[in-house]
Structure 1
Amino acid sequence: MRELTPDTTADYLRETGRIAPGVAASVRELSGGVSNVVLRVDVDGRPPFVVKQCRERLRVAVEWRARLDRIWVEHAVLRVLGSLLPADAVPSLLFEDRGEYLFAMTCAPDDAETWKARLLRGDADPAVAATLGDLLATIHVDAPGHPGFDPTLADTSLFDELRVDPYYRATARAHPRLESRFDALIAGMDLPRERRGLVLGDFSPKNILIHAGGLVLLDFECAHLGDPGFDLGFFLSHLALKRIHGAIDDRAFHALVDGFLGAYEARLGDRLGPAGEVRTRGIAHAAACLLARVDGKSPVEYLDAPGRDVARRSALALFDAVPDGWDAMIRVLDAEARRRG
């Protein structure tokens, strides 16, 4: 595979006929990813676009490799979501190169920034959270039956490689008393077909771009037909981490969670089984993901040592309490947040 860089991408695009000879082009690498190289290409006379190429070794502190064909999972998800979601909610595909493990897509507006960046500076708009809840439920419920759904997305092996093993099994090794709980949570994701949704596996603020005209969802290489509760817990753990960090206060945290969950459950209904069952699994995944972000293979980078302690205590308290609903989960998180205060 020819690994593209900002210095070599324009030549590659000319050699493959995607930029005409002699047309000026500039390339720069976009930040934020740990598993791919993402390059913005500006070409005279046409809109900018993005080239995304897979890398085998993920850019984290510990050794972590994943197979290159995961990029075609993302490609398959972009195809179905592009026709399922509102216009421009995901990038549009432009071309692909299977031999080089890359594809190109439209570029987000120039004023776009990650929702993570906004949250970390205290900009916590509950309307954004509500929109995300509605979009996620639409993806979970409607994507599996969509005509554009790729049957290969039923394969969960990449999700195991990129999430279950580095997050759940690695964290269980750090907390042996919870090993059986993690084992049960992993086994519980093997749901009957009618209760599975298209799970994104990386539905987090860093993969959501906000701009003046709306928002754009990114990064789908962990997607699979699976347990919707994982996406719920993964997303909620990120909101909890932002509060623990101090970027958002208690009131903003509650508003974000209420907006997200209210919109999600209104759209979901009982179409993937009883709402209470999805809720129970979501709470369990929230505890597991929260603990994984301090003691798994990919710890969150912005927490200090006291913050990591609060996140760890919060997760362990959720494991011990086994809350029976969202309100009970929030009460546990509130109690631990007050201890830091």
Structure 2
Amino acid sequence: MSQDLAERCAELVAELGLANPGTDVRIRPLTGGVASDIAVVETEQRDVVVKFALAKLKVAEDWFAPVHRNRAEYAWLKFAHDTCPANAPKIFGRSEALQGFAMELLKGEHVYLWKDRLLSGAAPDGEAAKVGGLLGRLHAVSSRTDFDRSAFRNRDDFHALRLEPYLSFTAGRHPDLAMRINGLAEALHGSDQVLVHGDVSPKNILVRDGTPILLDAECATMGDASFDLAFCLNHLVLKALHMPTNRDALCAEAQSLWNAYAPHVCWEAAADLEARTVALLPALMLARVDGKSPVEYLDETGRRRVRTLSRPLIAEPAATISDFIDILKKQARHQ
């Protein structure tokens, strides 16, 4: 742990009144994220998680983003906790000067990370449907005319964190698909229908007593609901390709996510949103092998498999999620 992180942690909990100034606190850095410094801080009052945004992300490619995105993340967590209290951590305050905040430490024998469970090969326990329902509720509330959008007018941050590293960068590596991929990015940049989380990934979803808790909202912005849907579905279908023995179960989870989400769509026709989701999904698949943030569990054979599936579907998208899944299964059987 760097001295700088230790000092920032101690200063933050003191500023937020979570520890007395000068009081010794125990700090344990957490690993796994690329966009922030995160640590557990043990104080006399309580144990909390603190998070500070990084200007340069921890990836091989040059990837920069403004640290003030920490403000939007905190606002998203507050919105989610106010809307669905069981599905978001408690928050304990934020420092504008330090660009950091403190939140509840989620732990216990009945808490697990959804990504770990998926990669372990364990049978799904209905997590995808619960996540789909949660996303649907949050998107629906944020689509209302009385929703306060003031904290989420940050589409340029979303471009820096998601559109450029995932879509624009990938388009540069696949010139024959560049027009199509860049078109998807431009459409996403121009949308402001609902509050988008921006990183709905199994690595950011803890399950506590059967209830999903969504974390890491530093990409939060007003945008297109299809991004959150496609981003999460992407992780399920990539793991379905990676884990043949669990393929049918993971594909069923992907369909369950959409089935649970769709009844909440009240701001447009659900079929229109589904079509945009399946158009974006293969581009995000390709981005996770050829973009700035490749998934760590695919070898070169797995990456080739993803390219073989995703490239034709970028050029000619499937009509529905069900159709997409059928194509995935058919191709996987012949590989």
TM-score above 0.5: yes
Q: Alpha-carbon deviation of 1:58?
A: 0.3
Distance 2:244 2:59 in 1: 24
Q: Per the alignment, in what secondary structure is the counterpart of residue 182 of structure 1?
A: helix
Residues 141-150 or 164-173, more deviating? 141-150
Matched, 1:9 2:6: no
What whole-Å deviation, never above 9, does each CA across 1:195-248 have from its counterpart, x for those lacking one? x11111111101101233522110111111111111111111110111122176
Q: TM-score, normalised by structure 2?
A: 0.92
Q: Which residue of 1 aligns with 2:103?
A: 105
Q: Which residue of 2 aligns with 1:211?
A: 208
Distance 1:21 1:51, change over 3 A: same
Q: Alpha-carbon deviation of 1:251?
A: 1.9
Matched, 1:324 2:319: yes
Q: Alpha-carbon deviation of 1:180?
A: 1.0
Distance 1:259 1:213, change over 3 A: closer
Distance 1:265 1:170 in 2: 31
Q: Which residue of 2 aligns with 1:276?
A: 271
Q: What code does the residue aligned with 1:102 have?
A: G
Q: Per the alignment, in what secondary structure is the counterpart of residue 213 of structure 2?
A: strand
Distance 1:257 1:213, change over 3 A: closer
RMSD: 2.3
Q: Which residue of 2 aligns with 1:251?
A: 248
Q: Which residue of 1 aligns with 2:304?
A: 309
The correspondence of residues 1-341 of structure 1 with structure 2, limited to 5 A, is 4-6=4-6, 9-10=9-10, 13-14=13-14, 18-20=18-20, 25-44=25-44, 46-85=45-84, 87-111=85-109, 112-145=111-144, 149-189=148-188, 196-212=193-209, 214-246=211-243, 249-268=246-265, 271-340=266-335
Q: Alpha-carbon deviation of 1:76?
A: 1.1
Q: What code does the residue aligned with 1:272 have?
A: W
Q: What code does the residue aligned with 1:168 have?
A: L
Structure 1 unmatched runs, 5+: none
Q: What code does the residue aligned with 1:333 have?
A: L
Distance 1:41 1:279 in 2: 42
Distance 1:12 1:235, change over 3 A: closer
Q: What code does the residue aligned with 2:35 have?
A: S
What whole-Å deviation, never above 9, does each CA across 1:16-40 have from its counterpart, x for those lacking one? 7531367553210122210101111
Q: What code does the residue aligned with 1:184 have?
A: G
Distance 2:33 2:23 in 1: 29
> Identity across aligned pairs (percent)?
33
Q: Alpha-carbon deviation of 1:285?
A: 1.1
Aligned length: 333
Distance 1:221 1:21, change over 3 A: closer
Contact 1:168 1:296 in 2 (8 A): yes
Distance 2:26 2:147 in 1: 34
Q: What code does the residue aligned with 1:287 have?
A: P
Distance 1:262 1:208 in 2: 19
Contact 2:236 2:251 in 1 (8 A): no
Contact 1:57 1:65 in 2 (8 A): yes
Q: Per the alignment, in what secondary structure is the counterpart of residue 56 of structure 1?
A: coil
Q: What code does the residue aligned with 2:312 have?
A: A
Structure 2 unmatched runs, 5+: none
Residues 220-229 or 110-119, more deviating? 110-119
Contact 2:29 2:40 in 1 (8 A): yes
Q: Which runs of 4+ in 1 moved over 6 A?
A: none
